[in-house]
Amino acid sequence: MSRILLAGGAGYIGSHTAVELLEAGYEVIIADNYSNSCPEAVKRIEEITGKSVKAYELDIKDTEKLENVFKENKIDAVIHFAGLKAVGESVAKPVLYYRNNIDTTLSLLECMEKYGVNNIIFSSSATVYGEENPVPYTEEMNRGTCTNPYGWTKVMMEQILEDAAKANKDLSVVLLRYFNPIGAHVSGKIGEDPQGIPNNLMPYVAQVAVGRREQLTIFGKDYDTPDGTCRRDYIHVTDLAIGHVKAIDYVLEHKGVEIFNLGTGTPYSVTEIVETFEKVNDIKINHVYGARRPGDLPESYANADKALKVLGWKTERTLADMCRDTWNWQKNNPNGYNK
């Protein structure tokens, strides 16, 4: 049984990935400082799967504490979710983002090298395609120019991992470029629980629905899209998590660097998201239209053919599923993990 370390594994995507890995027969170890997550998520993972998870509370940047995790466990592969991820905050606090996100990557690579762990999957983002590339994005495109420090940290971390793999022929690296994860586990036990005001659309919609926010502001109605609002490739977080299981199977058998887009290939507009949420859940979302938000691209969506061809992975869940599962999580956990 392979043992997988999830750095930042108590967060939104990490927790769903932990569930899918455990159900696929892998052993899971979580290391998280709970800066944007909650220990309760680990308990819920265990409830869903009926399996135990070893969890360490530590900052991945703290190499000394991280080393103890590697000393105490024979780790076969690492999935690197750890990092700050709010675009607006990264603009306001760029040094914090560069220090935190790059240091976590370097600490992981140093510990992996010291303890002979040669397999890593990195939680990257479609933001690395920047503004120059046409949609749909394909993996062989050059990384583009990012509009914020968060995006640049993803670009830099991809480069660091590629350089490490060039220098160490035993190193296997998979870069997973996520598009827009939404939804929650079908059980309603785990889901997205952002700290403070949500930065992303779906958790904001859910918080308006449950009464935590008064109304949703949709930024811009004059984009060159069918209904004038931005279009994004929204992917159910469970489909995304299953993509990590497929990537683990792959990374354990291959060397070098591979990049995969994880998306549906179908963009939906902000207005479509709101209307679908209202329809499937029979609830009204109070919303208004505001000015465009700086840095928002009109469209962003994946070509995910490579993931299907190489990993045998494709999305199974619909936009209606994403909206239904989001509401199931939020209505059962109106204050997230803090009941």
Show which residues are catalytic.
150
Other beta carbons within 10 Å of 35: 12
CB distance 66 to 58 below 8 Å = yes
Q: With the C-alpha atoms ordered 36, 41, 43, 45, is the resulting torsion angle positive or negative? A: negative
Strands 268-269 and 231-232: antiparallel
Between CA 193 and CA 179 the distance in angstroms is 18
**Pairing outcome for strands 256-262 and 180-182:** unpaired
If phi over 0 gives left and psi between -120 and 50 gives alpha, with beta otherwise, what is residue 136?
Answer: beta
Structure tokens at 310: 């190489």
Compute the distance between CA of residue 5 and CA of residue 59 in angstroms, rounded to an integer.
14
Whole-number Cα distances in Å, 279 to 31, 99, 236, 320, 324: 39, 43, 18, 9, 10
Which two three-digit tokens encode residue 225?
A: 């899209």
Distant-in-sequence, close-in-space partners of 137: CB < 8 Å, separation ≥ 6: 126, 129, 177, 261, 300, 301, 302, 303
Beta-bridge partners for 54: 29
What is the rounded distance in angstroms from the CA atom of residue 288 to the CA atom of residue 217? Answer: 5
CA angle 150/93/232 to nearest 5° reads: 30
